[in-house]
Amino acid sequence: MKKIIELKNITKSFDGEVVLDNINLDIYDNEFLTLLGPSGCGKTTTLRLIGGFETPDKGDIVFMGERINDVPPYKRNVNTVFQRYALFPHLNVFENVAFALREKRCPKSEINEKVREMLSLVALNGFENRSVTSLSGGQQQRVAIARALISRPKVLLLDEPLAALDLKLRKDMQQELKKIQKATGITFVFVTHDQEEALSMSDTVVVMSEGRIQQIGTPIDIYNEPTNAFVADFIGESNILDGVMLRDRKVSFSGQVFDCVDAGFGENEQVDVVVRPEDVDIVPLGKGQLTGVVTSVNFLGVHYEIIVDIGGFKWMIQSTDFVDVDEHTGLYIEPDAIHIMKKSEYSGMFGDYSSFSNELDELSNAESESGE
């Protein structure tokens, strides 16, 4: 695959605060790449650097082999779908979409043809003469995409484009964006704080935190093989425990020794152990490797969400088997459900469900959505 954009050792600060700290990232032709992270992690700044709205303090931005640090936005073969669309309120749908072609002074017939083609790509035929302020959020979103795609950029940058839409519309647009990306063959660089969105749409996910890239990989890699506690916690639910790697494929945590599939750590090395909630089986007392007391049970439709106290550490377990609160239960974990990570600065910060409540979780989600 061909590299389209390379970010090399990029550092950027605003008012003395480091926003991007030595970022290295390759973006390939025709891929759907997502920058994922909480607000303030530097994902939007990364996007703005590629768009040309910021210049890096240090490092190079390379576009198809050429350094473009100082190339202004209007000379870059890159277009942007802005967070709140930034449609021109004084122009109708047709003129918004035609904006880039009018600047290039394309002939009228070509503009007509291309605008119609773009509007049908985003399913907005017949909206040409509508005022953009009269459109719904989803329709404005489509106009923004059509406007950005009309000059056939090599790369389309999307800055949280779905954040302002309601859940159902968001799901539809996710499908549609993916379809448009496949149909046009244009590289999409997508920014979001929504991990589900990132997993379901992307070819490559880049997880960022505090101005640094934590992990680059396919959605499956990121979910199954997180590199540290931050990634494990940010992508889905995880129980993260302190453990000791006794030797290859043998790990000890929660006072027990487990078989696992990881190797290559030092003997008796301190590690973080990740176990996903859906990988823990509820078994009769004495049948599993661990024993615990159920402290809360929450029915979520597809499964129960069960919090189990094992020696003072609260695990989250997702199971279709019912256990009651205060019941003692056995727990069983398959060797390949145990994922071992090196200790990192994030160790001990995540992965314990002792203060867990759904309400709290929703609150913090709402906060991150309004951010940036």
Partner 1 sequence: MKEKRSLRRARVLESLCLAPYSVWAVLFIVVPLLFVAYYAFTDNSFHFTLGNVTRFFTATSKVSGADGLDREVHTYLLIFGRSLKLAVISTAICLLMGYPAAYIIARASDRTQKVMITLIMIPMWMNFLIRTYAWMTILQDTGILNGFLGFFGLGPVHIIGTEAAVVIGMVYDYFPYMILPIYSVMAKMDVKLLEAARDLGCGGLGVLRRVIFPLSLPGVVSGIIMVLIPSISTFYISQKLGNGKFYLIGDAIESQYAANNLHFAAAIAFILMIVLLACMAFMQRFANRRAAV
Binding site for partner 1 (CB under 8 A): 51-53, 72-74, 78-80, 82-84, 86-91, 99-100, 102-104, 147-148, 151
Shortest approach of partner 1 to residue 162 CB, angstroms? 17
CB of 188 or CB of 265, closer to partner 1: 188
CB of 99 or CB of 356, closer to partner 1: 99
**Environment class of residue 207 by beta-carbon count within 10 Å: exposed (0-12), middle (13-18) or buried (19+)?**
buried
3-class secondary-structure state, position 38: coil
Shortest approach of partner 1 to residue 84 CB, angstroms? 7
Shortest approach of partner 1 to residue 43 CB, angstroms? 17
CB of 14 or CB of 53, closer to partner 1: 53
| Listed residue (274, 341, 282, 339) closest to 307, CA to CA | 282
CA 195/CA 219 separation, integer angstroms: 10
CA 100/CA 79 separation, integer angstroms: 10
Shortest approach of partner 1 to residue 73 CB, angstroms? 4
**Edge-first strand listing for the sheet containing 204-209:** 78-81, 155-159, 187-192, 32-36, 204-209, 212-217
Tokens at residue 33, please? 């790449």
Tokens at residue 305, please? 């969400």
CA 189/CA 46 separation, integer angstroms: 10
| Listed residue (303, 282, 267, 278) closest to 224, CA to CA | 278
CB of 143 or CB of 222, closer to partner 1: 143
| Listed residue (164, 176, 157, 168) closest to 137, CA to CA | 164
The β-bridge partners of 10 are 23
Shortest approach of partner 1 to residue 344 CB, angstroms? 36
| Listed residue (328, 298, 330, 334) closest to 316, CA to CA | 298
Shortest approach of partner 1 to residue 51 CB, angstroms? 6
Evaluate whether 81 touches 173 at the Cβ level (below 8 Å).
no
CB of 93 or CB of 290, closer to partner 1: 93
Evaluate whether 282 touches 318 at the Cβ level (below 8 Å).
no
CB of 28 or CB of 99, closer to partner 1: 99
Shortest approach of partner 1 to residue 192 CB, angstroms? 18
Residue showing tokens 């090399």: 8
CB of 131 or CB of 270, closer to partner 1: 131
Shortest approach of partner 1 to residue 12 CB, angstroms? 17
CB of 80 or CB of 228, closer to partner 1: 80
